[in-house]
Structure 1
Amino acid sequence: MIRLQKDENETNIDNILNDIPNVTDDVEDNLNLDESDTNLEQGDNLDSFSKEVISALKSKNMPLLPLNYQAYFEQMLDNKNIEFQKKIYSLMETDTRNDERNINFEKTIHIAFANTRDILKCTSSIYKNLMLVNDIEKKCLNELNNNVISTKFIQETNSLQMQIDSQINQLKILYQKCNKILENINTNTMYDSKFDTYNKRYFINLVQDEKKMVEKFNHTSTIIMMTIPLIVTRYIKNDQTTALIIMKTIAKLLLKTSRRSDIIGYIGNGIFAMLLKHSDVFAAKKASERLIELLRNTNVILGNKEINLDLNIGISKLKSDRSAEESLNFAINALRNAQRSNTNYIIYKDDIDENQT
């Protein structure tokens, strides 16, 4: 059973014990929101806030693209009063259903993928057995030809042998085609089937895309890498069931508390990653502090064991003079240092000067 102090969540995972691989301006709150205004989407309040977001984008010379608008919208929304935020987020909940449908769709594909893989394994065994039968039959035919036997029997057996040869060849071709299609499906999936986050490949692609945007428009984005501390890892090193529950708890917390413009991925070895668009290192630091505090208020109870959760975090910046892969590896290096020193979070050394307090 898992008991969360703030909310209740249910919770095969890569071996998290492996070594980690080397890879806004504030706007005045003057909306004067009437708490009785339940028809917010038709009122002036949302309209005026939307205009503020557009003005902020223009002031930063950012193109008025949907993704840029979303990132600024959510960041500026954090500066508004709680009641206004609640009403806006209630309107935004409808959009989350599309993401849920996509995740469920990919889960269905993953199940079909696994079942088809099993079929192919079975087909492979049948193919090998047919080849064996074929060899035995050829051997028997050679022996029969040396004896006095009905010509008709030999003709019928030869005909059957030709059919088997043809079917074996067709089976081989169909197997190869099906296997190629499955590999293509696997390559183009977006989500991690265990944690409902983006998978490693797709997350890296999104980081590379954002790097191009940083280069083109000269804005700031950051990367956060996070995992559980080594002390917790050692405590559960022989209990993969507990490890799975802890990782799913972290994933659910990240998905529940992050902004829609934040991109969350699972990159393996127990490490989650988050791309914060249009956020500097100071904002990434604040986000890290918030995540750590939320996780510390979350306990996992298994039998008689109560596990207090925590995070180590590494932070790096996406910069025009470094590749996306370098930024990802720098965040991982910072994470490794945070784990070794048991520090809440560490900013990559070349980005520390961006940490304005």
Structure 2
Amino acid sequence: MAGVMKTRAKKSLEGSNGKSPAIKSLDIDSSSSDIEIYAKEVLNALIADNLPPTPNNFSLYFDRLLEDKSENLRKQIHSILELEENNDDESTILLEQNLKQGFTSIKSILTVTANLYKNMSLMTKILEKRKKELESTPEVKATLNVIDILEGDVSKLNSILKTQSSQMKTIYDDTAKIVKSVENETIFDNKFGVYNKRYLLTKIEQEIGLIKEFNHKSSLIMIELSRELKKSVNNDKAILLMTRTIARLLLKTSRRSDIVAHYGNGVFAMLLKHTDIESAKKASERLCDLVSNSNFFLADREIQLKISIGVTNIDSEHSVEEIVVSAMDGIQKAYEQKSMNYAVSLRS
């Protein structure tokens, strides 16, 4: 299939006379703008690596090669990208957030209705009490008649409210089932503001298929807040805030093509597409430095954040589960070695 795609790509670049004017246009000349020159470099790199110049591959190489460019060029290109950014995943995430917010609002309505029902029941009891107090006074017979009527009205209202409350409970239960069904298909982790485990595993599975087809290299790194740091802090709320800080830092340092996700229990993952082990190690070093330079304040105590990272390669010979376990083993190796905050774990 790869050969077919390459052949089609080549034919699409050839003119009617069999020559290749499009390939010739890849030559860089002085009249081209910086971004045009860079785009040509990206396309040349794809062709050199025998990869079909699909939008997905172009985007991956566009991000990867940009890391080695000057800061001015990176800023120029990032400013352009921000203007045209249109991510379908972001739209999906926004939809998920709105859905969950709507469910929360329905739950609040149910709570208010339940409280109203309780207050009506309390009012009924108060009326009964006052009626008994008045029964001991003969001259207030007319008042008792009024209270009897009022008691009947309150009882009817209470009965109606009870029925409506039951109906709302049924609506709430049905909505809860819908939301639960949607949650099984979500891609976003609300707690940490990154992708969730389900989305991560799906993307790793897809990457395995792409590697099998095109034979490029990709890596997976797993990251967690240092266990020694969590033990020394021993404060669940503070640990949660520090873990959220780690999530924000991961998003800050990641490329657009990287997948940042919460795997579970405060462990994060970054799927680094078209990234070999050496490049993944450099990315891990940058992450460790970025985090260590970010201090966290707990009351009057200043805490230096620290993470542990496991690095592994993604290949077509192993399953998603085996790849994830290998990255988790890397975290354990990092703790055992102690000389580094990250370690590489390769499968045999």
TM norm structure 1? 0.68
Which residue does the alignment assign to 2:39? 50
Deviation (angstroms), 1:241: 1.5
Contact 2:326 2:347 in 1 (8 A): no
TM-aligned CA distance change 1:186 to 1:69, over 3 Å = same
Cα shift at 1:341: 3.9
Distance in 1, Cα, partners of 2:335 & 2:98: 36
2:234 is aligned with 1:234: no
> Which residue in 2 is equivalent to 1:132?
none
Pairing 1:185–2:175 present: no
- Equivalent AA in structure 2 for residue 291 of structure 1: L
| Cα shift readout 1:104-152 (whole Å, capped 9, x = no counterpart) | 443222222344467789999xxxxxxxxxxxxxxxxxxxxxxxxxxxx
Segments of 5+ residues of structure 2 without an aligned counterpart are 1-26, 115-163
CA shift in 2, pair 1:306/1:96, >3 Å: farther
Secondary structure at the aligned position of 2:343 is classed as strand
Distance 1:305 1:171, change over 3 A: closer
CA distance in 2, matches of 1:105, 1:250: 25
The answer to whether 1:208 aligns with 2:205 is yes
Distance 1:65 1:177, change over 3 A: farther
Map of 2:97 onto structure 1: 107
Query: Considering only CA atoms, is the larger Rg found in Structure 1 or Structure 2?
Result: 2
Asked whether the 8 Å contact 2:225–2:308 carries over to 1, the reply is yes
Match 2:192 to one of 188, 191, 195: 195
Go from structure 1 to structure 2 and tell me whether the alpha carbon gap of 1:184 and 1:293 turns closer, same or farther (over 3 Å shift).
Answer: same
Change (3 A) 1:168 1:229: closer
1:289 matches 2:288: no
Question: How far apart are the structure 2 equivalents of 1:253 and 1:185?
Answer: 28
1:80 and 2:77 matched: no
CA contact (8 A) 1:223 1:274 kept: yes
In the alignment, which residue of structure 1 is the partner of 2:6?
A: none
Distance 1:33 1:293 in 2: 38
- 1:58-69 superposed matches below 5 A: 58-69=47-58
- Aligned-partner Cα distance in 1 for 2:199–2:111: 28
Deviation at 1:337, TM superposition (A): 2.4
Counterpart Cα distance in 1 of 2:96 and 2:226:
31
Residue identity matched to 2:318: R
Alignment of 1:1-20 (within 5 A): none
Choose from 251, 268, 293 the match for 1:255.
251
Residues 94 and 122 of structure 1: CA distance in aligned 2, closer, same or farther (over 3 Å): same
Which residue is equivalent to 1:245?
A: 241
For residues 172 and 290 of structure 1, do their structure 2 counterparts lie closer, same or farther at Cα, with a shift above 3 Å needed? closer
Q: Equivalent residue for 2:133?
A: none
Within the candidate set 271, 275, 281, 1:279 is matched to: 275
Deviations 1:152-188 (A, max 9, x none): xxxxxxxxxxxxxxx9999998676534322221112
Give yes or no for contact 2:113–2:165 (8 Å, CA) kept in 1. Answer: no
Contact 1:103 1:196 in 2 (8 A): no
User: How far apart in 2 are the matches of 1:103 and 1:187?
Assistant: 14
Contact 1:67–1:261 (Cα < 8 Å) also in 2: no
Q: Which amino acid aligns with 1:265?
A: A
CA contact (8 A) 1:281 1:315 kept: yes
